[in-house]
């Protein structure tokens, strides 16, 4: 028995010793692995910081007209601002940057001292290792490379801005998109319509509130934010105090649903910067930005329903559905390379206008519009410092589609995977007489058009409305002229009276056509799309601006 106890103690002592031996053998590699992991993390952060310095140095290097003579001096000036970082210049290579989108990005920068408009800067920094010295290595090096060029930056947008709009519909549309009663009055709606949002300041505010202080503007727009956070930041970056108050009140009533900020704005090369400090600030209409945020909060498809009364006319019911099924895009982009195309959404609009002001009785006009996406792209930029009449030419393809008098099933209307069937719509409904009608008008002509905005127009905030060659100005009258009418009665022989009834109906419709056209124009402006039309604007033109290109 005693011998068994001694044997057990011996085994325990042996196991404890074995554990100690195993630990002593494993400790160095474990500590080494830990040290390597810590140092790798630190090197990653140092490399990221160095990239920011390289970007700033490259943009400084392209400021002089004579880059080969003064570029390196400008780079050194940036490094001298933080001598404690111990950063050295590896190389400063002047070159020629080709903005032609037909040339691959890898071939757009070519070293060239004679016609230099760009530069490539490479920097290096020795980083002391915290724990790597346990492995016998005290320092490691990180490098960063940046290319910058003097480029002509253009910010452009696609969609109606509703400047000067003074109606009930825009506010009700925003409420329908937000799915909540925002309690907006006309004064607040007009304040939003009259305000601009500084996009760079908006991004900086969002970064300060929900991001990382080291984030670039592009980092901010590559993330997500809630509707409250977005609209509250818009309020802080708005151009008028009335607009700020209205937007902040809206923000406080919105949900925490998050959307991708890239669905609103593509900053292009400005995204590499920590702040937008250009003399030509990037501003956009507050209503356009708010509308885009609320639409995108619903996902790839959005919908809204509105009912309103029009004095001396009657009531109007509006249903709107939009979807992005082929190509999604922001509504605003910064593009020095002429490679970004903006699109509106595929849109369906159903309007039912009712009036009692006709001798024939209450008349209802059921309308259905289907609009394909409009598109816009930068075509040419004139940005010569020696010229006074610089400007931007856009390539624009207006929205084409169709307008119908008729009724569409709700299920088909909201389902973008189907083509809705439009049936004859009821125009007059009485106990003894029903009148139905159908008309179809297609707007084609999807040829590119090339509107130009001068620098003076850009600074004045001028927008251009581009129409197809067969755009119909008086849409309702055009539909009425081709209306197929069906009269239904309770077995009452009308004989020649049916012709008289049809004539009275057509005269009544012609009388209200201008009012219905006005309502339809307000609705399509409110949504930001129009049949056979595209609204475009150039928000900013900045000539020869230092820009990171790679």
- pLDDT score at 326: 57
- Write out the residue range of the structural domain in which residue 265 sits: 167-299
User: Phi-psi bin for 268: left (phi > 0), alpha (psi -120 to 50), beta?
Assistant: left
295 and 325, same domain (yes or no) = no
Contact 145, 121 (CB under 8 A): yes
How buried is 204 (Cβ within 10 angstroms: 0-12 exposed, 13-18 middle, 19+ buried)?
buried
Higher pLDDT among residues 257 and 8, named by residue = 257
Task: Write the CA distances from 541 to 197, 269, 392, integer angstroms.
Answer: 17, 14, 8
- Three-state DSSP at 417 gives coil
Window from 6-15, 69-78, 215-224, 270-279 with minimum mean pLDDT? 6-15
Inside any domain, residue 276:
yes
Angle, CA 284 vertex, CA 266 and CA 97 arms, to 5°: 45
Percentages helix, strand, coil for the chain (3-state, rounded to 5) are: 35, 30, 30
Inside any domain, residue 6:
no
292 and 319, same domain (yes or no) = no
Q: Residue 383 pLDDT more than 80?
A: yes
Q: Residue 228 pLDDT more than 50?
A: yes
Token duo for residue 299: 């996902």
- pLDDT score at 19: 52
Residue 57 CB neighbour total at 10 angstroms:
27
Q: Rounded distance, CA 44 to CA 50, Å?
A: 10
Q: What percent of the chain has pLDDT over 70?
A: 82
Task: Write the CA distances from 87 to 138, 216, 319, 528, integer angstroms.
Answer: 17, 21, 61, 51
Inside any domain, residue 1:
no
Output the CA torsion 343→346→352→357 (10° steps). Answer: 30
- pLDDT score at 519: 82
Contact 306, 317 (CB under 8 A): yes
154 and 171, same domain (yes or no) = no
Contact 344, 292 (CB under 8 A): no
- Three-state DSSP at 45 gives helix
Q: Rounded distance, CA 260 to CA 296, Å?
A: 8
Last residue of a domain, one of 245, 275, 299: 299
- pLDDT score at 439: 94
Inside any domain, residue 9:
no
96 and 181, same domain (yes or no) = no
Q: What percent of the chain has pLDDT over 90?
A: 31
- pLDDT score at 8: 46
- pLDDT score at 280: 62
Q: How confident is the model at residue 201 (pLDDT cuts 50, 70, 90)?
A: very high
Total domains present in the chain: 3
68 and 113, same domain (yes or no) = yes
Helix axes 199-210, 227-236, angle to 10 degrees: 130
Token duo for residue 254: 């919105």
- pLDDT score at 165: 53
265 and 328, same domain (yes or no) = no
Inside any domain, residue 201:
yes
Q: How confident is the model at residue 2 (pLDDT cuts 50, 70, 90)?
A: very low
- pLDDT score at 26: 47
Inside any domain, residue 2:
no
- pLDDT score at 23: 44
State the average pLDDT over residues 9-36: 52
256 and 325, same domain (yes or no) = no
Q: For the chain, what is the mean pLDDT?
A: 82
Q: Residue 494 pLDDT more than 60?
A: no
115 and 182, same domain (yes or no) = no
- pLDDT score at 119: 94
pLDDT digits (tens, 9 = 90+) for 318-367: 999 998 655 667 888 888 777 888 988 889 999 998 886 555 567 889 99
How buried is 547 (Cβ within 10 angstroms: 0-12 exposed, 13-18 middle, 19+ buried)?
buried
Q: Residue 391 pLDDT more than 90?
A: yes
- Three-state DSSP at 159 gives coil
- pLDDT score at 32: 54
pLDDT digits (tens, 9 = 90+) for 143-152: 999 998 888 8
Query: 3-class secondary structure for 483-510?
Result: CEEEEEECCCCCCCHHHHHHHHHHHHHH
State the average pLDDT over residues 448-453: 93
Last residue of a domain, one of 264, 299, 334: 299
409 and 530, same domain (yes or no) = yes
- Three-state DSSP at 403 gives strand
Window from 77-91, 209-223, 230-244, 348-362 with minimum mean pLDDT? 348-362
Last residue of a domain, one of 299, 328, 358: 299
62 and 200, same domain (yes or no) = no
Q: Rounded distance, CA 165 to CA 194, Å?
A: 9
Token duo for residue 473: 């100005």
- pLDDT score at 370: 92
Inside any domain, residue 395:
yes
- pLDDT score at 12: 45
Q: If you search the block for the tokens 């009275």, which residue do you land on?
A: 504
DSSP E strands: which ranges in 244-335? 258-260, 265-266, 283-285, 301-310, 314-323, 332-334
- pLDDT score at 433: 79
Q: Residue 278 pLDDT more than 70?
A: no
Higher pLDDT among residues 132 and 488, named by residue = 488
- pLDDT score at 350: 94
Q: Residue 396 pLDDT more than 90?
A: yes
Q: Rounded distance, CA 221 to CA 271, Å?
A: 8
208 and 86, same domain (yes or no) = no
Greatest mean pLDDT among 242-246, 502-506, 521-525 lies in: 242-246
pLDDT digits (tens, 9 = 90+) for 408-448: 998 899 998 888 999 999 988 877 778 899 999 888 766 88
Q: Rounded distance, CA 354 to CA 520, Å?
A: 13
Inside any domain, residue 18:
no
Output the CA torsion 283→288→290→295 (10° steps). Answer: -140
- pLDDT score at 277: 58
How buried is 473 (Cβ within 10 angstroms: 0-12 exposed, 13-18 middle, 19+ buried)?
exposed
Contact 374, 398 (CB under 8 A): yes
334 and 467, same domain (yes or no) = yes
């Amino acid at each position: 028995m005693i011998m068994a106890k001694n044997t057990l103690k011996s085994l325990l002592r042996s196991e404890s010793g074995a554990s100690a031996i195993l630990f002593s053998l494993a400790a160095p590699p474990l500590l080494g692995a830990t040290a390597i992991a810590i140092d790798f993390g630190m090197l990653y952060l140092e490399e990221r910081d160095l990239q920011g310095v390289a970007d700033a140095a490259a943009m400084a290097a392209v400021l002089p007209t004579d880059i080969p003579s003064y570029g390196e001096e400008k780079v050194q000036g940036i490094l001298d601002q933080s001598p404690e970082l111990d950063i050295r210049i590896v190389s400063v290579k002047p070159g020629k940057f080709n903005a032609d989108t037909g040339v691959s990005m890898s071939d757009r920068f070519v070293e060239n001292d004679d016609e230099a408009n760009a530069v490539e800067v490479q920097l290096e920094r020795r980083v002391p290792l915290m724990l790597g010295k346990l492995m016998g290595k005290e320092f490691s090096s990180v490098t960063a490379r940046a290319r910058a060029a003097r480029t002509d930056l253009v910010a452009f947008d696609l969609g109606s801005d509703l400047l000067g709009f003074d109606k009930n519909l825009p506010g009700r549309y925003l409420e329908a998109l937000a799915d909540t009663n925002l309690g907006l009055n006309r004064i607040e709606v007009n304040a939003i319509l009259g305000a601009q949002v500084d996009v760079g300041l908006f991004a900086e505010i969002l970064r300060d509130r929900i991001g990382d202080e080291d984030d670039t503007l592009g980092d901010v727009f590559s993330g997500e934010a809630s509707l409250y956070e977005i609209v509250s930041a818009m309020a802080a970056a708005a151009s008028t105090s009335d607009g700020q108050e209205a937007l902040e009140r809206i923000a406080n009533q919105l949900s925490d649903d998050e959307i991708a900020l890239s669905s609103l704005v593509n900053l292009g090369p400005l995204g590499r910067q920590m702040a937008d400090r250009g003399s030509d600030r990037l501003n956009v209409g507050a209503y356009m930005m708010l509308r885009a945020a609320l639409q995108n909060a619903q996902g790839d498809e959005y919908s809204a329903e509105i009912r309103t009364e029009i004095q001396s006319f009657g009531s109007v019911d509006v249903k709107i559905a939009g979807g992005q099924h082929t190509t999604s895009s922001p509504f605003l982009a910064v593009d020095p390379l002429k490679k970004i195309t903006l699109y509106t959404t595929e849109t369906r609009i159903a309007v039912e206008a009712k009036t009692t002001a006709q001798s024939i009785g209450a008349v209802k006009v059921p309308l259905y519009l289907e609009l394909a996406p409009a598109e816009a792209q930068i075509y040419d930029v004139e940005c010569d410092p020696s010229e006074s009449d610089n400007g931007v030419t856009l390539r624009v393809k207006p929205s084409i589609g169709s307008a119908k008098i008729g009724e569409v099933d709700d299920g088909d209307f909201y389902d973008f995977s189907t083509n809705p069937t439009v049936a004859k719509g009821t125009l007059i409904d009485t106990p003894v007489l029903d009148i139905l009608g159908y008309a179809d008008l297609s707007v084609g002509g999807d040829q590119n058009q090339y509107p130009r905005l001068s620098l003076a127009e850009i600074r004045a905030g001028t927008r251009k409305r581009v129409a197809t060659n067969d755009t119909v100005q008086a849409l309702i009258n055009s539909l009425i002229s081709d209306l197929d009418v069906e009269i239904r009665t309770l077995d009452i022989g009308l004989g020649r009276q049916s012709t008289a009834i049809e004539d009275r109906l057509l005269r009544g419709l012609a009388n209200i056509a201008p009012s219905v056209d006005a309502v339809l124009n307000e609705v399509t402006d409110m949504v930001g799309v129009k049949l056979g039309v595209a609204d475009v604007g150039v928000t900013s033109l900045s000539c020869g601006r230092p820009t990171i290109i790679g």
